Structure 1
């Protein structure tokens, strides 16, 4: 397949994703959504459709052409790239899947038990659009075999396992990261409303979800909590409320001071990886000191949501809408793939 053919196939896939994420998905899509939610209670219909629409919007011809224009992609002997998928949010490994195929390589995807339905469904449609992809796409829940490179995403613990088993291959191995927001107290209500989406979308399970906020001394939380209220219905998800009740009980038993609006907890903490239903906060005394702190902690941070003029910050509400050229952990996947021996 020529590069243009591959791009056209993904443009068609993008249109399909927007169609099935609409109010009237096909009967097959409805069945897939229901199966995905049955397999993973965090994959609500709303979150599945949000993920599909986000990718549908990203896969425009303009976006794909702009992304690929940064590289020289030549017709070469395709390499088989094993992708070990995470399963924390719907289609979390799709960008790796896309990157491997658009560069002319083959995918051997080891699916997460938490997300084993959605990507094969998309792969099936992609093959129907461009049958040449049939020889380039393979899914497995078992052992990976006969591959040339590895892209793996997991926790800090699984990263050690990945390093041990796959270290001899060309690889990208991703570890735990979380996203933060920096507030000054001058944010508009619209910006804070958008921040609520960055916090609560996917129940906060993604590495791009804001799990911690930095606030100035004497910060007034009134406008913040007002904005969070738009997500109050999240407490009706049984998995979420179980986490909220559990974390609240544990913190109260340990006498930790909490701010609580009855569906989320704010805890002062220097960490980054807050539990589900909890957002950590930390106070800063000057923006200059905070810039240095964020730089020091860069390996723990996926993205910074703010309007403070910080390096590489993204606007409020955009944490879950990365562009194709916004690479996880700042590692250029396409560049890695193009340099495979």
Structure 2
């Protein structure tokens, strides 16, 4: 199968996904195989929260729309233009996927197939339905891909390389278990934001999207703020008030109550607006419903520190004061060429 054929399959998937949004799900008669898949996908989206309490329809629709926007002919061409992808005997690539946010492993799935390889997928118990459904759709578009896609429930066997995502603890297990295989082992990372005090209300409101999207469960969610000495959090709290409804989700509210109680019993000083706590802490990894913050005095010293901690960070949100930073509100909208952990998956797959 040629690269152009494979790209066309994912363009069709993008067209299929573009029909589904929280406020305007509308069937497009020009989309392939709607008679089989459209209503079934609507049902699956609505059932997702019963499979995983964090997968609210709002967040599932957001993920779907993000992929619909990514899977265009223009984006696929731009992404793949810098690679030479030969037609050769496919390698078997095992994927061990996370399940913290909807379709979190789709980029790895796409990368394996677009390079002409075979994928063996072990889904997370928290996300067992969305990706297999999309796999069925692309097989309907191009039946030849059926031989390149296998979902595995038991032990992964007979593969040439592995891409595994997990916590720092599971990463150590993966590194040992797969020590004899080419691998990408992804560990826990966090995202931070650097504020100067000159941000507009619009920027701070957009920062709320980086914090609250997916309830803060993703590695691209901002879990730590760096603020200048003497920074007033009043504008920040005013700007993010629009996200107050997050507290009405039971699982989030339970985490808010629990983590706040733990902090208070430990006599930590907190800033609190009724749905988010801010705690001064040097760590990057804050619990759900809380964001850590740390004061800085010299922006250049902070830049040096962030460079030294690069392997711990997924995104740095800032204005143009920080090199390679992500704009406010954009952490959950990565492009196809924005690789997790800055590890080029396509280059890895081409060297196996």
TM tier relative to shorter chain: over 0.9
Deviation at 1:282, TM superposition (A): 0.5
**What is the alpha-carbon root mean square deviation over aligned residues?**
0.9
Deviates more, 1:218-227 or 1:102-111: 218-227
Deviation at 1:7, TM superposition (A): 0.3
Deviation at 1:151, TM superposition (A): 0.1
TM-score scaled to structure 1, two decimals? 0.98
Equivalences for residues 206-245 of structure 1 within 5 A: 206-245=218-257
SS of the counterpart of 1:20? coil
Q: Is the 8 A contact 1:304 1:314 kept in 2?
A: yes
Equivalences for residues 188-207 of structure 1 within 5 A: 188-207=200-219
Q: Is the 8 A contact 1:152 1:174 kept in 2?
A: yes
Q: 1:285 to 1:313 in 2, by over 3 A?
A: same
Equivalences for residues 76-87 of structure 1 within 5 A: 76-87=88-99
Which residue number corresponds to residue 3 of structure 1?
3
Q: Which runs of 5+ in 1 are unaligned?
A: none
Deviation at 1:155, TM superposition (A): 0.4
Which residue number corresponds to residue 44 of structure 1?
56
Match of 1:319 among 295, 315, 331: 331
SS of the counterpart of 2:86? coil
**Distance in 1 between residues matched to 2:279 and 2:327, nearest whole Å:** 24
Which residue number corresponds to residue 328 of structure 1?
340
Match of 2:282 among 254, 270, 274: 270
Deviation at 1:27, TM superposition (A): 2.3
**Distance in 1 between residues matched to 2:290 and 2:320, nearest whole Å:** 24
Is 1:295 aligned with 2:307? yes
Which residue number corresponds to residue 162 of structure 1?
174
Deviation at 1:106, TM superposition (A): 0.7
Is 1:19 aligned with 2:19? yes
Number of aligned residue pairs: give it.
340
Q: Is the 8 A contact 1:182 1:308 kept in 2?
A: no
**Distance in 2 between residues matched to 1:135 and 1:94, nearest whole Å:** 18
Q: Which runs of 5+ in 2 are unaligned?
A: 27-37
Q: Is the 8 A contact 1:113 1:141 kept in 2?
A: no
Is 1:89 aligned with 2:101? yes
**Distance in 2 between residues matched to 1:321 and 1:213, nearest whole Å:** 20
**Distance in 2 between residues matched to 1:309 and 1:217, nearest whole Å:** 17
Which contiguous aligned blocks of 4+ residues in structure 1 show a shift greater than 4 angstroms? none
Deviation at 1:284, TM superposition (A): 0.4
Is 1:102 aligned with 2:103? no
